[in-house]
Amino acid sequence: MERQNLVATASAPRSATIQSLTDIKDFVEDMYEAIYRDGIAVARKALPVAWADTLNHDVAREFLRALFVPGGTAARGYNRYYFEPYIELTPGFFALAGHPIIIALSRRMFGDDYRILEWGADLPLPGAEGQWPHRDFAMEEFTLKNRRLTSIAVNASCIDVAPNNAPFQIAKGSQFDDGADFYGGDQADPAAQGMFPLDDRRREYEARMETMLGERGNFSVRSALTIHGGSASETNNSRLRPTIVMSVVSPDDRNWVSGPEELARRDDPHIPRIRLSREYLDHLERDHPDLVRHLSYEVVAPTTADLPPYHTWHTLEGLIMGNDPTAKRP
């Protein structure tokens, strides 16, 4: 198979699909180059449509459980939510985290000590407003100095996204742009830059934004520094439309931890991690030790039945305020 046919970036024709994993090394290399060049790359038809359908069902069920618990979800503006479902209740996690492309790409980008530390879902509901163009975190000094990424965000839509149903937008190639005048820094890292471009710079990014329509079975891999945003929902479609967010980090990332002992020592609930039960961890350790080695996790219950009500720690201050990151919180 031609190498070009294996890699499909957002602008490639839809016929560019993954047909075989035999040439995975070249495929991953092309994705790696696309991420450094464009800030994003897409793997098409990497998982079965049925995988997305099952995940859609599981995430929707868990979202409703999280929505009715105080602190169970993080607000992302009007009618838009983020939350982190338990992986054992959304077992689609397993196929994505253990996907040969994700494993090989994580190794290529971060070496063998990468960690998977986030499994969340973004849910724009009908009427959700378009998001302010943003980075998901401020660029840290390591990336600024070395122009090296320390994390990737993997996105997989659970439905085929229609143009009026809040599609994802991104300004390709903006991942290393200077954000010294962006609004909203990082209190934990005073050397870090801002997250939200203002005024002319905002308009400049909005003009550059490309729309990407998520499809079941595809996943994208991007730097969360690439300026992006969810667009407005202009549909009354009653179906939920979750997009999965899975984050992978390198040992150079501030959120990387060696293992659960270090996580406990650091005693900061805001450090992202996968929360699971001892029962499920025992199962993973027995049957999938390679995956466990790459998980940043915390055991929060003895069994699946004992898992506590959802609590989402992961907040993005500017986006809580909806379409104005500079507004003060009520």
By beta-carbon proximity to Fe ion, the closer residue of 136 and 140 is 136
For residue 299, the SS3 value is strand
Min. distance of Cβ 155 from Fe ion in angstroms? 10
> What spatial distance separates the first Cα and last Cα of the chain, rounded to whole Å?
56
Residues forming beta bridges with residue 154, ordered by sequence position: 221, 246
Min. distance of Cβ 229 from Fe ion in angstroms? 7
Span near Fe ion by CB under 5 A; candidates 32-40, 108-116, 135-143, 270-278: 135-143
Min. distance of Cβ 224 from Fe ion in angstroms? 7
By beta-carbon proximity to Fe ion, the closer residue of 216 and 228 is 228
By beta-carbon proximity to Fe ion, the closer residue of 165 and 247 is 247
Q: How far apart are CA 53 and CA 253, in angstroms?
A: 33
Q: How far apart are CA 93 and CA 118, in angstroms?
A: 10
- Angle, vertex CA 272, rays to CA 266 and CA 278, nearest 5: 85
Span near Fe ion by CB under 5 A; candidates 70-78, 100-108, 130-138, 241-249: 130-138
By beta-carbon proximity to Fe ion, the closer residue of 38 and 136 is 136
Residue type, 305: A
The strand pair at 274-277 and 297-301 is best described as parallel
State the binding string over 22-61 for Fe ion (x if CB under 5 A, else -).
----------------------------------------
CB count in 10 Å sphere of residue 106 = 24
By beta-carbon proximity to Fe ion, the closer residue of 220 and 277 is 220
The HSE-up count of residue 235 (CA atoms within 13 Å, CB side) is 15
By beta-carbon proximity to Fe ion, the closer residue of 247 and 296 is 247
Residue type, 59: V
Q: How far apart are CA 307 and CA 301, in angstroms?
A: 5
Candidates 58, 136, 177, 215; binder of Fe ion (CB under 5 A) is 136
Residue nearest to Fe ion (CB): 136
By beta-carbon proximity to Fe ion, the closer residue of 62 and 136 is 136
By beta-carbon proximity to Fe ion, the closer residue of 72 and 124 is 124
Residue 140 is a binding residue for Fe ion (CB under 5 A): no
Min. distance of Cβ 64 from Fe ion in angstroms? 23
How big is the site for Fe ion, counted in residues (CB under 5 A)? 1
CB count in 10 Å sphere of residue 64 = 11
Min. distance of Cβ 51 from Fe ion in angstroms? 23
Span near Fe ion by CB under 5 A; candidates 78-86, 133-141, 184-192, 281-289: 133-141
By beta-carbon proximity to Fe ion, the closer residue of 88 and 136 is 136
Min. distance of Cβ 134 from Fe ion in angstroms? 6
Q: Are 175 and 228 in contact (CB under 8 A)?
A: no
Question: Tokens for 1?
Answer: 């198979």
Min. distance of Cβ 319 from Fe ion in angstroms? 7
One DSSP character per residue, 182-193 reads: -B---TT-TTS-
Residues forming beta bridges with residue 74, ordered by sequence position: 82
Q: Which of 272-308 are b and which e, b meaning 16 or more Cβ less than 10 Å from the residue's Cβ?
A: bbbbbbebbbeebeeeeeebeebbbbeebbeeeeebe
Min. distance of Cβ 79 from Fe ion in angstroms? 16
Question: Would you say how long the chain is, in residues?
Answer: 330
Min. distance of Cβ 136 from Fe ion in angstroms? 4
Q: List residues near Fe ion by CB under 5 A.
A: 136
